[in-house]
Chains A and B, each alone.
Chain A
């Protein structure tokens, strides 16, 4: 007779001392783990619910401006710095981690219409209602020194926007016409009379108040292409990853993503806002963009989706005039009518700060589960649910009814 009976040595399964970690022998045999799918589904459901529970996107409000915030600029090299210009001509430089204003300067009389930082981060440009372009040092002046611009160009007309070249000392302004400036000269090196603005290496696009979007090549004397839309576009933003794609924020409550090579039709029409869209900014990954609207909300759209992924609003936030997506892809900054700059998380339920490896793993796992079961009706309902202010909710319904009626006709 030959016999062997299962006999386990407890030493192999129990930790040796109380200071040791517990032993967890694994066996991945599927028959020992029944109900794989229902259990995963339950986990996915829990993860989705927790995501909604933890969705608290508001981080901080930066107050200090004495008028509505009209424009903002990201620092190209420092994540902690933000520039903002207000309607009374004041420019403030903010330190985001401390949530404090580090510098205030009276840049213009009247509105600060546009601002941009130089690609190296040593100086920034502002344009204002006083028909001037000013270049400022990024550092604050030393003790006893007066706040003075490095350069000042006095123009003939009001400039409404400015953007800087990403590599060279060239910038463009827009107003009555689009001007290209060399930093060293006081007169534009080129002006286009066909019509705010964004740079690509040699390309530049503008939206004009005659409802058109115009593309320019800096090397040529005449504009490249022109699209005329139904209503005026307020701003446009180039996709930082696919540089032939841009999105424009339109007055007709929608955003349009265009491929530069084919301007006859937009690739996607993004619609969820219930009022004019005032500003748009891409995330540095180019996968998503954020839009600010007159309806007091900001919305985050996936690049190729026609509806927004999430919507941020607070009771106190008024019409959002400008919005920026931070360069580390984690935060969103909004400047609004009631003089505040707000800092939001780009991913509403994300945990801030350093994560341990286990936390990261758990997060990745739940992310994957959510993705796996995303089309199940219960889970989809929870992920899509957003609370909206009553006004916006009813307006959306109304718009939907109007759209349906139009479709039926």
Chain B
């Protein structure tokens, strides 16, 4: 517990020393710029900077160093000590110190100058937009114009707090320490012509080692999978070779041969377990290669996807079954017969945990475990679908088909955005965290940038591997694309692919065993139930705008009778022979026309509405003219 306590303190200190950290960041940037300029002037390669040990790059400042900076007396002493070592910097510091003395500490009136930037620094609008969720102002809407004052004020308070939180998060964004990678070509050069060897030579040694080949000619072709934090790599050869290793340190965890065809491999929630889809059944191994389970309910599995927040392993089989296995309890959650034959194209939408399946008819279907029919059927290609990839925000889907086309869809509106023609078609699509797309044709891997924006003419990068590509995946939080092919495995450097700043509580590549254990417990506690999987994951926090009629119907169902129904007219009993059956009937007839009038009015209204609808439809038809092929999916 004490350790945990410390760790919270650490985080909070990080937060409090925010201003200092920004400052340091700026200083570093300046330094970097100067060195790069010098390098340019000398015409030397940047790779030389780390080879010659001229000057050790000063380590990034720690939080305690910043706090010391804030203490005027201590820093002054330090400055004197350091004077001999580093003259320049100390001078700078003293200057800054003087400035500070004249600034906020000294009285305002000494210099007579005003603070040119009063108040907190403004946060750029786009940064704030990045953190905004949902509607911005509800209170201003008309919806609550006649609501109670208490409701209005609570909503207003909630809005204000959320606004504050957004602003703080946007401010915190400045403190992120890493910048994304990039690759820029010289004049008259294309980035796609730059060879991997050149890149590996140009960058620092550690990054250079990220380009490597594993020559595994015996058991290929290989499928691969990275863990969610991008630290561990799992390789599965078609002819039974399965191995997993920490690819940063190149430390082998296990290497086995399952002596059977391997169709797909997938890590489960952490690097402790992985699933292997073998010739007949699905197996689960631990990271030392011990077989933990053989799941016979899952047979002939061709492709797998793991939904990390739901702890679900979704499998697509050769028999056309889409099955979900809850790996936390080991139970099959759902098994759906898709009735679409062999399922060998599968992708998951990381935004809403919907499974996308591609079919030989050119249709892409979207599935959730709660429904036996597909949520959506999209006709995407004229030939069969070869591969699907969905981006992490759940906005775009990229598909490639046998018609040699690469198409980009907006899957919120189910609209095609871009369509590219690739002469050889593409397989093994994969999208990186920052939106780079890798497409493989034969033994060539091409990486495209921003395929959904302006139409792309040329690939961002290209690389030829030794055998036909069998599987490709971008490594999370790294500028690396892993490629499994017939002759083994290639790790390719793709600058700008990975998200530079990871979140330590979500997926931390540097986590220790203890941290992983703690994370595992927390993740299991907040495992999302499979019933909550739907196209819109935020549906839970939206207002249920069931109409009054719907609610009324539910109530009628619950009660068994309609509480608001008009009671049928029953004539009062009258004495003295006035309640003869004839008399009663007469009295009933007196009011009967009222009920009838209501009924007639209703039917007439319905009729009119129907006629209007039909007219509108006809009008639309006349306006449309030609029908497109996709129209038959419209309802």
Contact = CB atoms under 8 A, between A and B. Distances in A.
A41 interface: yes
A3 B309 contact: no
Contacts of A3: 181-184, 199, 202-203, 495
Contact of A39 (B8, B9, B11, B528): B528
A193 B108 CA distance: 72
A1 B183 contact: yes
Interface stretch (A16-24, A136-144, A275-283, A310-318): A16-24
Contacts of B537: 34-38
A113 B392 CA distance: 72
A1 to B, nearest CB: 6
B185 A12 contact: no
Contacts of A387: none
Interface stretch (A25-33, A60-68, A286-294, A392-400): A25-33
A29 B309 contact: no
A21 B504 contact: no
Interface string A366-403: 00000011001000000000000000000000000000
A51 to B, nearest CB: 15
Interface string B503-533: 1111011111011000000000111110010
A42 B532 CA distance: 10
B144 interface: no
Interface string B434-451: 000000000000000000
Contacts of A14: 510, 512
A236 B505 CA distance: 53
A56 interface: no
Interface in B183-197: 183-186, 189, 194
Nearest to B542: A37
Given A6-B178, A26-B505, A35-B309, A41 B540 contact: yes
Contacts of A145: none
A39 B204 contact: no
B503 A33 contact: yes
B6 A21 contact: yes
A28 B182 contact: no
Interface in B332-371: 350-353
Contacts of B505: 24, 26
Contact of A42 (B9, B11, B527, B539): B527
A409 interface: no
Contacts, number: 167
B4 A32 contact: no
Contacts of B7: 21-22, 24
Interface residues of B, number: 78
Contacts of B495: 3-6
A276 B502 CA distance: 62
A26 B18 CA distance: 13
Nearest to A372: B541
Given A5-B207, A12-B60, A42-B528, A28 B172 contact: yes
B185 A1 contact: yes
A358 interface: yes
A42 B178 contact: no
B550 to A, nearest CB: 15
B85 interface: no
Contacts of B206: 7
B376 interface: no
A184 interface: no
A220 interface: no
A376 B511 CA distance: 36
A146 interface: no
B179 interface: yes
Contacts of A21: 3, 6-7, 9-10
A11 interface: yes
A27 B479 CA distance: 18
A249 to B, nearest CB: 28
Nearest to A8: B178
B177 interface: yes
B366 to A, nearest CB: 17
Interface string A340-383: 00000000000000001110000000000000110010000000
B133 interface: yes
A8 B479 CA distance: 11
Contacts of A35: 309, 352-353, 528, 537
B76 interface: no
List the 4 shortest-distance A-B pairs measured between CB atoms, nearest first. Answer: A24-B504, A21-B6, A13-B510, A5-B207
Given A30-B130, A38-B309, 12 more contacts: A3-B183, A3-B203, A7-B204, A13-B510, A21-B10, A22-B515, A28-B503, A33-B503, A36-B537, A38-B528, A39-B309, A46-B525
